[in-house]
Structure 1
Amino acid sequence: MKKKWILWIAALSLLLGGCSFESVMSDDLMMTVQNQNVAQTSEYAYEDVAFLQAAVGEDTLNPYEMTSDTSLRIAPLLYDSLTKLNPQYGYDLCIASSVELQGTSCTVTLRQDVLFSDGTDLTAADVQYSYRQALRSDNAYTAQLSNVAGVSVLSDDQIRFTLEEADVLFPNLLTFPILKNGSAADPVGSGRYRLAGENMLAENPYWYGKSMGKIEKIQLVQQPDRETSFYSMKTGSLDYLFVDEDETIAETGGSICYVPMPNLIYIGINDSRSRLSNARFRQMIAAAVDRVSLIETAYYDRAQETSVPFPSSWEQLSSLTVESGQDFEKVQALLAELGLDKRDDEGYIIMGTRRVSVDILVNNENETKMQIAEMLREMLRLVGLDATVTGVPFDEYQTRVAERQYDLYIGEVKLKDNLDLTALLTVLTQQTTEENLQVLERYQQWRQGTATLQNFLEAFQSATPLIPLGTRNGTIYYNREIYYDLRATAQDVFYNIHEW
C-alpha cells in the first residue's frame, strides 16, 4: 500500500510539473513572427553556412551529468542512440539494426559499421555501460528507463532489455546516449560530431551515416539563462537556440521553427462531483468544446488540436477511427437523455429552480491558460451550463488539483518519448467511477499487448475521464542566414543537421 501511495504522489508531481507559464501573443507580435519567417526570401542573397554557434547550459559534455535542458539538447550531436524518434512520434533505427519486442523481453541487434569518434568499435558492452550510467544520473534518463529490470549482453552485437512490465512502445525509449565503456570522465560518443577543442565540435569522420551536411563546426556558447540566450541571439553571438516553454515568441532578429512537443493540454474532470460522475454529462461537455477555436486563438500556430490524449500527428492514429470536433446535435441528444431539458428565462439549464453549474479552475499566472478557461466558459454557457472561472496563483492551483477541489481544470502534462499516460490516468482515476477505472485497465492492456489502441480509444471516449485539447510546440530561434530545411523533433532538435 505504501508503494502505491508513493507512486501516486510521484504521478501527481509529474502531472502538475507539466504546467508552465505562458503569455498571449499580440497581433503586432504575430506580424513580427511572420516577418521573421519570410525574411529568408525577401531581403538576402544567402551563402552556405558552415559554422554554427549553439547554446549550452553547463561545462560538462557527459549527458548523464547534464542538468539543464539546453545542454541535453546538444547530446544527440555527440552521441548516437539505439533508436531515434521521428516527427510522427514513431521510432527509426539508429545504431540498432533491429529491435525485437516480445512481452517483457526486448532484444536489440547493433549495426556492424558503428565506430566511436576515436575509431574504436561500438559493442553491446558499451550499451550496457551507458544504461548503467543512465541509472545513476539525476536527469530525465533515469525516469526514461525506469521500466527496465535489467540488461544482458548476449554477444558483441546483441543485447537484451528485460522489462518490469510489457510496453508495446518501449522501443521509443531506446533513445538514451551511448558512451564508450569506461569513458564517463572524458566521454566518447559515435554521433555526427566530436569534441575538437574547448567548446568546439567538428564533424566526426567515423560517423556511420558517412554523408554530412554543410555545418562543419559548432561552437558551444554557454548561456546561464533564457534572457541571456535571447540577448545573444540579437547580438549575433548565438545562431541556434531551442526553447521548450509555452511563452510569447521573442524578437531576436532571426527566424523561427516550431517543434511539435508531447505536451498535452487538457481539461481535467472531477468525476466525484455529482453530475460529473455521469459519463454522458462528461461526453456532453466534450461535445460542446470547439478545440480548433481554443487552440488557434490561444496559441496561434504554436500548438495543434487533438481529440485523443496523444499528439494528432502520431503515426499510429492515421488508420484509426476517433470522434472529434464540436457537435451541438450530440450535446442536445445527451442533454435530453440526462433529462436536462428545462431552461430559465436566460437560457440556462435548470433542475428545479437552480441552474446547472460548473466551475473551471485555472492558474491565473498563466495568461494562455486563462484565455482557454474564459473561452471554455463561453462555450459551456452557449449550451446552457452556468459556467464560471476560478483563477488562482499556481501554488494554490496545485493544491486544489491535488485535493480535487475543482469541477474542471485546465492542465498540461509532458509525456515521455513513449507517450505514456500512466501518470495522468493514475491521478485522474483515484476515487473514481467504474467507467474511468475501466479506461485505465484497457490502457494497461493495450500497453501490454493484450488489447488494441482502438480498443483503448473507444473506452476513453466513452468514459471521457478528461478532455484533450491539443499539444503545444517548442521553438527554435535561428540565424536567418541559415536557409536550410530545418526539421526537428522533441528528442533531437538537430534532427536533420547532417542533411542541411
Structure 2
Amino acid sequence: MKLGPKAAATALTVSAALALTACGGAANSGPAAGAAATALTIGTIQDVRSWDPAQAHVGHVLQPYQAVYDTLILREPDGKLSPMLATEWKYNDANTKLTVDLRTDVTFSDGAKFDAEAAKANMDHFKKANGPQMAQLASVQDVAVVDADTIDINLSTPDPALEYFLSQAAGLMGSPKALGSEGIKTEPVGSGPYVMDKAASVKDSQTVFNARKDYWNKDLQKYQKLTFKILADITARTNALVSGQVDATILDPKTGKQAEGAKMKLAANEVDWQGLLLLDRDGTKNAPLKDVRVRQAINYAFDRKTILDQVMLGQGTPTSQPFGKASGAWTEELENHYSYDPAKAKQLLKEAGYENGVTLEIPSIQNFETQISVVKQQLADVGITLNVGAALTNTFTSDVAAQKYTTMFFSLFQGEPTVAINQIISTKALYNPFKNASPELDAKIEAVRTGGAEAGKLAQDVNKYVVEQAWFAPLFRVNQMYYHNSKVDVEPQIQQAVPSIYNYSPAK
C-alpha cells in the first residue's frame, strides 16, 4: 500500500543511562561489498544493559543500538525526519492514526523478513516490555496490520512526538523470531548495518561489530568494523583518544584542553541542561518539597554563572528553564527567572516554616562530583543540607521509576516540546516518577498535544508553569564537547550529546 506524499515531520532529541543466541547471524556477518575497508572505534561511557530493542535507552546509549537495529524513521543531523524502514507516513485529519508504509526489501540478520507483521510485533513488544523508554509509546492504543507493507498506528490521544520517537528507541526493529527471547538480551538480532562479533566482545569492556553483508542501505554502512570501547572514567577516555585507542569520544571542557593540545578536533553543540530534579513535588517522601517556596528557595541559592565558569570553564549558558532554544518553548523572560539571591532563598524558607533548614538526599553520579560539591556548598549557604548517597547504577532508570530518589542532580537534553514533556513533565514521564500534576498543567499539556504547528508556542505556557512552580532547578545548558581525531569526519547531531553512528565517515 502506498500513501502518497509523506506528512511533514517535526524533529528533535535526549541525555544519559545505561545493556541471541547463535541466530544473531554470524552467517550474515563479514565485510560488506562496497563498505570502506576501514575501522572505527568509539569511546562510550557505559555498556548497554540489554540488547533487547525494547530495553533500549537514548542519549549516549542509543549509538550501539543503531549499529544493529534500523529504526522506522531516520533522524538527520539537522533534526529532519527521513525515511528508513518506513518509506512514507501520514496522519489522519484528527492526528489519531498514523499510517506507515514500509520497505519490502529488508531482512533481519537471522534471515527473517521485515514486514508489517514484524513492525507490529516490535511495537507490541515495546509497549509490554516495561523498558526505560516505554513512555515513548504511551499514546499508542494499538498497531494494526493493513497489508504486508502497511501498518496503522492508532493513538488514544494525538502525540506530536510520535514520529520523533519512531527515530529513537521506539522505532528500533528486531527480528520477530528473537523478540522476548533470552538470547536477544546478550546478542542483538536486527536489520541494521552491522552484526555483533560476540567472540571479540567483552561485557563492560568493548563491543565489536562487523559490516553486514547485503545490507540494504550501503550509504549508511561506512566501515567494515565498528568497535565501542566502554570507558566510564573521563580521564581514561581522554587518554584513549590522545593515544589513538579510540577515534572519537565525549569529554568535558577540562579534559578537552588535553585533547586540543594533541590536535584533536571538536564537534560541539549545546544539548543538555544540568541541575537538580526536584522530583517529590507532593512531599510524599520529603515533606518540605511540597511547598513551592522551598523549591523556589533552592533555585535562588545558585550563582549559575560562577558555577558554569568555574566548573565548566564557561562552556555553556546559565538558564532557569528546562526547554532549549531550538524547541520553540524557550522564552527570553525565563532564562534568568531565578537570579542568584541567597537572602531571598532564606526568606522563602522562613515563610515556608523551614528557617531551621531543609535536607535533601541525592545519589552521587560519576563525573559530576565537582558540580555536586559546588551545589552542596551553595545550598548550605542558605540553610539547605545536601546529603550525597550511593552512586547511580545500571538500574537507575528502574530506580527512578520506583521513586527511590526524591531529588537528583542530573543532565537532561532539551528536546522538542512534546518530547521534553513526555520525558520530564507528563504523568507518564520517566523523570516525573511521583506523577505530579495539576488541572492547570494538564490543560496546558493537552493544548500542546493538539496544537499542531503551534505546539512550540503553546509549550511556552508549560515551560512557564514548571519554572514558576520550580519543578526543577536548572543551572546551565552545557556544550557537549565531542572530540575526534583526523582519521574521521564527525557531524554533530542536533539536540543529542553524541552523534548518531550515521554521522561518522572516513576523513576525506
Fold in common (TM above 0.5): yes
Specify the alignment match of 1:449 in structure 2: 450
CA distance in structure 2 between the aligned counterparts of 1:390 and 1:196, rounded to whole angstroms = 45
Specify the alignment match of 1:5 in structure 2: none
Specify the alignment match of 1:317 in structure 2: 329
Specify the alignment match of 1:265 in structure 2: 275
Deviation at 1:459, TM superposition (A): 2.9
Specify the alignment match of 1:50 in structure 2: 38
Change (3 A) 1:157 1:296: farther
Specify the alignment match of 1:168 in structure 2: 160
Change (3 A) 1:495 1:357: farther
Deviation at 1:81, TM superposition (A): 0.8
Given that 1:287 and 1:325 are in contact with CA atoms closer than 8 Å, whether structure 2 keeps it comes out as no
CA distance in structure 2 between the aligned counterparts of 1:106 and 1:301, rounded to whole angstroms = 45
CA distance in structure 1 between the aligned counterparts of 2:338 and 2:433, rounded to whole angstroms = 28
User: Does 2:352 match 1:371?
Assistant: no
CA distance in structure 1 between the aligned counterparts of 2:289 and 2:362, rounded to whole angstroms = 21
CA distance in structure 2 between the aligned counterparts of 1:364 and 1:59, rounded to whole angstroms = 20
User: Does 2:290 match 1:291?
Assistant: no
Change (3 A) 1:67 1:135: same
Change (3 A) 1:282 1:221: closer
Residues matched between the structures, number: 420
Specify the alignment match of 1:459 in structure 2: 465
> Normalising to structure 2: TM-score of the pair?
0.60
Given that 1:446 and 1:456 are in contact with CA atoms closer than 8 Å, whether structure 2 keeps it comes out as no
Specify the code of the residue in structure 2 equivalent to 1:178.
M
Asked which structure has the greater CA Rg, the reply is 1
Written as runs of structure 1 = structure 2, the 5 A alignment for 1:264-413 is 265-266=275-276, 268=278, 286=299, 289-300=302-313, 305-310=318-323, 312-317=324-329, 322-325=333-336, 359=358, 361=360, 363=362, 365=364, 366-375=369-378, 386-394=382-390, 411-412=409-410
Deviation at 1:82, TM superposition (A): 1.8
Specify the alignment match of 1:11 in structure 2: none
Deviation at 1:468, TM superposition (A): 2.8
CA distance in structure 2 between the aligned counterparts of 1:58 and 1:497, rounded to whole angstroms = 20
Deviation at 1:178, TM superposition (A): 1.9
Specify the alignment match of 1:220 in structure 2: 227
Written as runs of structure 1 = structure 2, the 5 A alignment for 1:12-51 is 50-51=38-39
CA distance in structure 2 between the aligned counterparts of 1:278 and 1:141, rounded to whole angstroms = 30
Deviations 1:254-281 (A, max 9, x none): 6665576556523638686999877678
Specify the code of the residue in structure 1 equivalent to 2:460.
Q
CA distance in structure 2 between the aligned counterparts of 1:72 and 1:180, rounded to whole angstroms = 18
Specify the code of the residue in structure 1 equivalent to 2:162.
F
User: Does 2:211 match 1:202?
Assistant: yes
**SS of match in other structure, 2:492:** coil
Deviation at 1:371, TM superposition (A): 0.7
CA distance in structure 1 between the aligned counterparts of 2:276 and 2:137, rounded to whole angstroms = 26
> Normalising to structure 1: TM-score of the pair?
0.61
Specify the alignment match of 1:140 in structure 2: 132
CA distance in structure 1 between the aligned counterparts of 2:438 and 2:48, rounded to whole angstroms = 44
Which structure has more RCO (C-alpha within 8 Å, separation ≥ 6)? 1
Specify the alignment match of 1:7 in structure 2: none
Deviation at 1:132, TM superposition (A): 4.1
CA distance in structure 1 between the aligned counterparts of 2:38 and 2:108, rounded to whole angstroms = 20
Deviations 1:31-59 (A, max 9, x none): xxxxxxxxxxxxxxxxx993213469589
CA distance in structure 2 between the aligned counterparts of 1:59 and 1:364, rounded to whole angstroms = 20
Deviations 1:4-39 (A, max 9, x none): xxxxxxxxxxxxx9899xxxxxxxxxxxxxxxxxxx
CA distance in structure 2 between the aligned counterparts of 1:486 and 1:138, rounded to whole angstroms = 33
Change (3 A) 1:117 1:455: same
Given that 2:126 and 2:134 are in contact with CA atoms closer than 8 Å, whether structure 1 keeps it comes out as yes
CA distance in structure 1 between the aligned counterparts of 2:54 and 2:289, rounded to whole angstroms = 44
Specify the code of the residue in structure 1 equivalent to 2:465.
A
Specify the code of the residue in structure 2 equivalent to 1:458.
K
Among candidates 462, 487, 492, match of residue 482 of structure 1:
487
Given that 1:81 and 1:95 are in contact with CA atoms closer than 8 Å, whether structure 2 keeps it comes out as yes
Among candidates 56, 70, 78, match of residue 80 of structure 1:
70
Specify the alignment match of 1:382 in structure 2: none
Specify the code of the residue in structure 2 equivalent to 1:412.
F
CA distance in structure 2 between the aligned counterparts of 1:156 and 1:349, rounded to whole angstroms = 62
CA distance in structure 2 between the aligned counterparts of 1:404 and 1:229, rounded to whole angstroms = 29
Given that 2:188 and 2:196 are in contact with CA atoms closer than 8 Å, whether structure 1 keeps it comes out as no
**SS of match in other structure, 2:159:** coil
Unaligned runs of 5+ in 2: 1-14, 19-35, 200-207, 393-398
User: Does 2:122 match 1:127?
Assistant: no
Given that 2:320 and 2:336 are in contact with CA atoms closer than 8 Å, whether structure 1 keeps it comes out as yes
Deviation at 1:139, TM superposition (A): 5.0
| Greater mean alpha carbon deviation, residues 91-100 or residues 111-120 | 111-120
Deviations 1:303-335 (A, max 9, x none): 65443223x1443336x564222676x979x97
Given that 2:39 and 2:225 are in contact with CA atoms closer than 8 Å, whether structure 1 keeps it comes out as yes
Given that 2:380 and 2:386 are in contact with CA atoms closer than 8 Å, whether structure 1 keeps it comes out as no
Identical positions, percent:
15
Specify the code of the residue in structure 1 equivalent to 2:174.
L
CA distance in structure 1 between the aligned counterparts of 2:245 and 2:287, rounded to whole angstroms = 58
Specify the code of the residue in structure 2 equivalent to 1:201.
N
Among candidates 463, 467, 474, match of residue 468 of structure 1:
474
CA distance in structure 1 between the aligned counterparts of 2:17 and 2:66, rounded to whole angstroms = 26
Deviation at 1:440, TM superposition (A): 3.8
Deviations 1:46-78 (A, max 9, x none): xx9932134695899764588999875222133
Given that 2:361 and 2:405 are in contact with CA atoms closer than 8 Å, whether structure 1 keeps it comes out as no
Specify the alignment match of 1:343 in structure 2: none
**SS of match in other structure, 1:484:** strand
Unaligned runs of 5+ in 1: 1-16, 21-47, 341-347, 379-385, 431-435
Specify the alignment match of 1:100 in structure 2: 91
CA distance in structure 2 between the aligned counterparts of 1:403 and 1:494, rounded to whole angstroms = 33
Deviation at 1:445, TM superposition (A): 2.1
